Chains A and B, each alone.
Chain A
């Protein structure tokens, strides 16, 4: 029994924290998120060299061959520092290839993803935001050796930066007739309209495919059989976002706790007052709780996949449920200074609002928990 990290994982955490602390403090985060590109090629390249872009990718394909527990260590820290990069999208794209690709597809793409030569993303959602297979309507028509794709994917994270997108599309009329197709964004007919969200470190947008033709060898896994893989990909996305949420929430709590120790009102540190310290204690309890839930979900991805749906829905449901209020309370405890653009806490409030719907909000995940519970 060991529900903790190994020494190597703790070392990895220290290394990442030191890297981000020296190279990408919040002053730098603000600069990077104002650029058109929204992330730093230089830092991205360094992360590739450190192996962090290919953490999940097997060594034979140029990666490091580690698992999700290692990856969430990385993501907790990128969340803590609000590090702007396509890391989540990139890792999920790699995951889709690792689990569903054939050897030729893996040989072709994984080394490029691991080296950072290309950026990967995934596109599951459409305009009608839903998490069942009927939500996937982008039409993919198979004609002999080619596939013709037409339609739009929405809320695609890092769509403007990605070179390769794993796209969920509809290949048949039955409810579950969906497939995953690799789309190169440089191909004819591929356009995107991306924007920064309220959280300037997170960018997403619409990917439009207008009669895009790809070869059938761009289909990941069997045609019409991708629903379980898509659901799993969404679950892994929820784990990734929740891992970043743990780091971000811990940092928001740290910033606010520090402020409560420094700020003097009525001749006392405000952290002395229970109306200040008790909400902070409650945040600590919530963070500890969705942290434990997210670790367990991450563990299930590799070690017990059948337990992933329930565990991830408990984790993301809990996090999505409490985070926005946590962001509001952290800001509120600062008073007017927290409202200024210059002060950092507002960046964390915005992050909580980005996290809430990503890969499913609390309603979606809690409904799923009950449905999985078999009580009808």
Chain B
């Protein structure tokens, strides 16, 4: 065991730190929402730190796994804005295009993703198809040089703001296995027949939407991968979610803020942090966050040794989900009667940020696989229990 960085890795870390010292002007202090900063975007783009894990041939940075970790960690620790704002494009649309796309598709889409020109959204879930994604029913029929798409998607995050969508459709209904007959299309959001109806969430935001397809024509050249191969494309995309190291740094920061709240909040004239129950609950959060950090390092070591990761990432996803729900709720709980007060109320604390935060956990907890799905993954793929 050894937690030290090599000479080259240390040099890279110093490069990142020096860059931050010279260029980081506005720290990101809030947990909610990211403000766009063109100057920052241009600078990190110039360093090739946007799409840092991607091959240099497509304009990525070609960073090693360890360098990616260092970069993410340093950026998160310095409270820097994100590396590029084309979130889904950078997280999974880009990697899928790099792996399955035609040369033409790479040229058309990859530079725009790296430049954060616009947002991508992801058309996976349907009204009756959530966790059981492969059962999707949105239909596409090939007609000459285009596909004719009909159906409906729902819970499509960022759809109200996106310019393009990565869409899963069914091109073959006569398959024995539901994972066959699925095709992946890249669809412009302004295509005639495509309608976005934003859905308001419980916190008052409208980041996700229903998306309706009525005879939407998608050119065949916008198909990603072969017809019927969409499930493979999706698996590649989802497997691309790498280390959770940056998330851990965020969680550590949130814990600090929570501790400060527990000092600031008084009951009977004393900080609530003096209450043993409060102290121990905070320590439990700390133990779970530290476990996430160390689990991440253990799995990273496996990757560095060239061993394939199976479903271990579900471990940290479950812990993260639990922390999101519990920490959000805990803040509101220790605030007592002020807890449920929103922004604008005379009794609210910190402009309602805690109340709002306690209503925002589903973004993380439900998007990308609910805790029950993660438990299925662990019990079936790691423990080898039968499928239900």
A292 near B279 with CB under 8 A, answer no
Q: Would you give the shortest CB distance from A311 to chain B, in whole angstroms? A: 8
- Which residue among A268, A278, A365 has the maximum number of chain B CB atoms within 10 Å of its CB? A278
Contact status A257-B383, CB under 8 Å: yes
Let me know if B302 is at the binding interface, CB within 8 A. yes
Task: Tell yes or no: B110 within 8 A of A by CB.
Answer: no
Cβ-defined contact, B375 with A282, below 8 A: yes
Q: Across the interface, do B1 and A69 meet the contact criterion of CB distance under 8 Å? A: yes
What residues of B have a CB within 8 angstroms of the CB of A303 in the complex? 1
A269 to B380, CA, bound (A): 13
A354 interface residue, CB < 8 Å from B? no
Q: Chain B residues near A296: list those with CB within 8 A.
A: 294
Instruction: Indicate whether B382 reaches chain A with its CB closer than 8 angstroms.
Output: yes
22 CB < 8 A contacts A-B: A1-B2, A1-B66, A3-B300, A4-B302, A257-B384, A271-B379, A272-B387, A274-B375, A274-B388, A276-B385, A277-B379, A278-B375, A281-B375, A285-B318, A293-B294, A299-B3, A314-B283, A317-B287, A318-B287, A365-B283, A369-B287, A370-B282
Which residues of chain A have C-beta atoms less than 8 A from B297's C-beta? 1, 3, 292
CA A136 – CA B376 in complex, angstroms?
49
Q: Smallest distance from the beta carbon of A277 to chain B beta carbons, Å? A: 4
Contact B294 A3 (CB under 8 A): yes
Within 8 A of B (CB), among A251-274: 253, 257, 260-261, 268-269, 271-274
B142 touches A (CB below 8 Å): no
B204 on the A face (CB < 8 A): no
Establish whether residues A318 and B291, one from each chain, have CB atoms under 8 Å apart when the complex forms: yes
Does the CB pair A292–B259 fall under 8 Å? Answer: no
Q: B3, B291, B295, B304: which has the most chain A beta carbons within 10 Å?
A: B291
Please indicate the chain B residues that have their CB under 8 angstroms from the CB of A284 in the complex: 315, 378-379, 382-383
A276 CA / B376 CA spacing, docked (Å) = 11
Pick the contact of A290 from B276, B291, B374 — CB < 8 Å? B291
0/1 per residue, B258-297, Cβ < 8 Å to A? Answer: 0110110000000001001001101110111011101101
Check A1–B315 contact: CB distance below 8 A: no
Given contacts A272-B388, A367-B276, contact A281 B286 (CB under 8 A): no
A residues near B273, Cβ cutoff 8 Å = 370, 375-376
B128 contacts A by Cβ under 8 Å: no
Which of the residues A281, A311, A314, A366 comes within 8 Å of B379, measured between beta carbons? A281
| B190 interface hit (Cβ, 8 Å) | no
A292–B318 CA distance with the chains assembled, in angstroms: 16
Contact with B along A303-328 (1 / 0, CB 8 A): 10000000100100110010000000
Interchain CB contact under 8 A, A366 and B3: no
Cβ B290 vs Cβ A367 within 8 A: no
Contact B283 A370, beta carbon cutoff 8 Å? yes
Asked if B385 contacts A260 (CB within 8 A), the reply is: yes
A5 at the interface (CB under 8 A from B): yes
Contact of B4 among A1, A269, A271, A289 (CB under 8 A): A1
Chain B binding surface SS class: helix
Besides the known contacts A3-B1, A299-B3, A375-B260, 15 further A-B residue pairs in the complex with CB atoms under 8 A apart: A1-B4, A3-B294, A4-B1, A271-B386, A274-B388, A277-B375, A277-B383, A277-B388, A281-B375, A284-B382, A292-B295, A314-B287, A362-B280, A367-B276, A373-B259
Interface centre among B262, B292, B302, B379 (most CB of A within 10 A): B379
Is the beta-carbon distance between B280 and A272 smaller than 8 angstroms? no
Given the contacts A1-B2, A321-B284, A367-B280, A289 and B295 also touching, CB distance less than 8 Å = yes
Within B295-325, which residues are at the interface with A (CB < 8 Å)?
295, 297-298, 300-302, 304-305, 312, 315, 318-319
Does chain B have a CB within 8 A of A363? yes
Chain B residues with CB under 8 A of A376: 263, 273
Q: In whole angstroms, how far apart are the Cα atoms of A80 and B286 in the complex?
A: 27
A289 lies within 8 A of B301 (CB): no
In order of increasing CB-CB distance, the 7 nearest A-B pairs are A289-B291, A366-B283, A292-B294, A277-B379, A281-B375, A271-B385, A281-B378
| Contact B388 A2, beta carbon cutoff 8 Å | no
Q: Give the distance in Å from the alpha carbon of A261 to the alpha carbon of B385 in the complex.
A: 6
CB distance from A268 to the nearest CB of B (A): 8
Q: Determine the chain B residues whose CB is within 8 A of the CB of A289 once the complex forms.
A: 287-288, 291-292, 295, 315, 319
A295 at the interface (CB under 8 A from B): yes
Q: B381 to nearest A CB, angstroms?
A: 10
Complex contact B386–A261 (CB within 8 A): yes
A288 at interface by CB-CB < 8 Å: yes
B26 close to A (CB within 8 Å):
no
B279 touches A299 (CB 8 A): no
User: A5 to chain B: which residues have CB within 8 Å?
Assistant: 1
Best-surrounded residue of B276, B302, B383 (most CB of chain A within 10 A): B383
**B interface footprint on A104-144 (CB within 8 Å = 1, 0 otherwise):** 00000000000000000000000000000000000000000
Q: What's the Cα separation between A12 and B300 when bound, in Å?
A: 23
Known: A5-B1, A272-B388. A375 touches B259 (CB 8 A): yes
Instruction: Specify the chain A residue showing the minimal Cβ separation from B312.
Output: A288
Known: A4-B302, A370-B283. A257 touches B1 (CB 8 A): no
CA distance A299 to B382 in the complex (A): 27
Inter-chain contact A375/B2, CB cutoff 8 Å: no
Contacts of A257 in B (CB 8 A): 383-385
Task: List chain A residues, Cβ under 8 A from B283.
Answer: 314, 317, 365-367, 369-370
Say yes or no for B191: interface residue by CB 8 A criterion.
no
* B-chain residues with CB within 8 Å of residue A276 when the two chains form the complex: 385
| A74 contacts chain B at the CB level, 8 A cutoff | no
> A88: CB under 8 A from chain B?
no
A363 to B283, CA, bound (A): 10
Say whether B372 faces chain A, with CB atoms less than 8 Å apart: yes
Question: Which residues of A lie under 8 Å from residue B276 when comparing CB positions?
Answer: 363, 367
Most-contacted residue by chain A among B294, B378, B382, B384 (CB, 10 A): B294
Contact of B77 with A by CB under 8 A: no
B74 to chain A, nearest CB (A): 14
CB <8 Å contact, A4 and B305: yes
Task: Provide the bound-state CA to CA distance between A2 and B307, in Å.
Answer: 13
Shortest distance between the CB of A316 and any CB in chain B (Å): 10
A206 at the interface (CB under 8 A from B): no
A109 to chain B, nearest CB (A): 29
B239 within 8 A of A: no
CA of A210 to CA of B259, assembled, Å: 49
